[in-house]
Structure 1
Amino acid sequence: MPPLNPQNILSAAHIAPEFFALRPDYRALVLIAVNIPPSHSDAQSEAYLCAAEQAAKSALASTPMNQTPHVLTWRDTYKAFGAKPKKTLNSLEALLKRVDVGLAAGE
């Protein structure tokens, strides 16, 4: 398989207009990283992940996930386009569900 051309990926990226009809406030960012060799986590990447994990735990300590406005908004959006939110979790909710068991490789 030939390597992917980042410019072709960016040129092909789009959001269906129907999605904006559901969520006019939606914004997306397409980020393509090239020439980054695969490697294991290091102390710095582990520290970033642990800090993000702790921030999520702190936020969930004061507001349960099923009452978090951002999570509820995404659940409603998934329902609006026909997905079953309990079966097809959005990425935010999927990550938050795993935060208690630890996301960092060292844990």
Structure 2
Amino acid sequence: MNLIRHTDSGFSVKLNKIIAASSLFDPGIEQQALEIIRAVQQRGDKAILHYTEKLDGAKLTPEKLSVNLAELAGALRATDARTRKAIRLAKLNIAFFAKQSLRKNWQA
């Protein structure tokens, strides 16, 4: 397994090489994801409910979209330390990659 960290020298180049070689990055899937993102930007929760039913078969209500503090606390307690650490690392990697992906003339 190839392991790369956002702090590695040449991280962006290595990541782009993996992405280009992977069948996981299907242009059709990317196009569908962009359509979903646009729909959510334009229609908000209505689009989320539509795609949740279409893709997951779950018919939710707007009230079911929000997660209260007790549910969040319960989820945190139910998650082991190794998983929490992995989530924190993933968050850092995603933020770093997103920042590196910005056009150079844009400000973060």
Q: TM-score, normalised by structure 2?
A: 0.27
More helix, by proportion: 2
Q: TM-score, normalised by structure 1?
A: 0.27
